[in-house]
């Protein structure tokens, strides 16, 4: 019974989060053959100020997509 925890920055829409957990479950099912009904996925969201990525604090890679479309093109 796989239990997957995913920590990420706040900022994804509900539909993006649904797609993310759906795909995580699908990939797990394909990779190890676990029944879909046995796969559990939990997302834990954190404000960007609480995260350090590549040695940089508060990079805001996800949340900046909503406010700065040019930056998201570079990040994506």
Phi, psi of 62 (to 5 degrees): -85, -50
Confidence band, pLDDT 50/70/90 cuts, at residue 72? very low
| Residue-wise pLDDT tens digits, 47-59 | 999 988 888 888 8
pLDDT digits (tens, 9 = 90+) for 22-69: 999 999 999 999 999 999 999 999 999 998 888 888 888 887 776 555
Confidence at residue 75, expressed as pLDDT on a 0 to 100 scale = 45
Dist CA 18 CA 53 (whole Å): 24
Of the options 2.40.110.10, 3.40.50.1820, 3.30.565.10, 3.30.429.10, the CATH number for the domain spanning 3-75:
3.30.429.10
**Residues 32, 2: contact at Cβ < 8 Å?**
yes
| 70 band by pLDDT with thresholds 50, 70 and 90 | low
The domain segmentation of the chain, as residue ranges, is 3-75
Q: Are strands 56-57 and 3-9 parallel, antiparallel or unpaired?
A: unpaired
Helix, strand or coil, per DSSP, at residue 40: strand
pLDDT of amino acid 69:
52
């Amino acid at each position: 019974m796989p239990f997957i925890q995913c920590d990420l920055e706040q900022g994804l829409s509900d539909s993006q989060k649904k797609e993310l957990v759906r795909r995580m479950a699908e990939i797990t099912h394909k990779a190890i053959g676990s029944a879909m009904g046995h796969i559990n996925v939990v997302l834990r969201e954190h404000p960007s100020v609480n995260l350090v990525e590549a040695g940089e604090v508060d990079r805001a890679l996800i949340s900046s997509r909503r406010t700065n479309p040019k930056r998201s093109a570079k990040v994506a």
